Structure 1
């Protein structure tokens, strides 16, 4: 009787270990998608020195449509900050910022650093005997880039 109990326990523990390894096998492509999307967003942000709302919505929709990201789509966050620590997400039409003071503009001059970060939650799930056990694993990836565009409405040389 004791041998049968040990065998059943061994089968249960090995099946849980296999399910955990299977979740880890899905985690790495999920994380690589997060990295590649952060890279894509950083490239666009570097071109304009800020993230336009249209591209922000496109990036969010691309992530929400991915199979594993779809499970926790409400926990996806994209943040872009400039060297001043302010949000660098702004309107699609940059001409509306020309008459505003520099503190109201989401962009800075060429050569200033920008931080792009995407946060998401990986649903770490295991189903045992029809019951779904789930842990949320918050993950983020941050990438630094430099603004490339020269704006004539900003001072180029700072003292």
Structure 2
């Protein structure tokens, strides 16, 4: 197998989901008891990493299995990658909400006018909407694939 074929196999949606699941498991093992707190009005929420990453990794492996089983159906490839991208955006935005994230360094703000707490409700809404759109694209793509039928017989990719 040459390098181009290997690279194409790694860019398949099921392979990307498996790689993200492996990252989630590694992150869970390294997390220990660390987490971060979110303050809404008069309530503090404490989110611990292990409780978030373990179910997320299992969900990613389940979705990778579904992609693997339905890859012979004629699905829309851009919807598949949008679905995978929706799972990438949520951890990135969650990292931006964590205490270790320093937006002053990244954006050049020196006066501290931008803080994750200022935009927390908006970032949470963006995460939720993007994840919901990704899941809707996944279900729609499965339905489209079943309606369009299987691919013609040929060499398995």
Q: Give TM-score, length-normalised by structure 1.
A: 0.27
Q: Give TM-score, length-normalised by structure 2.
A: 0.28
Larger Rg: 1
Instruction: From the two aligned structures, give the one with the greater strand fraction.
Output: 1
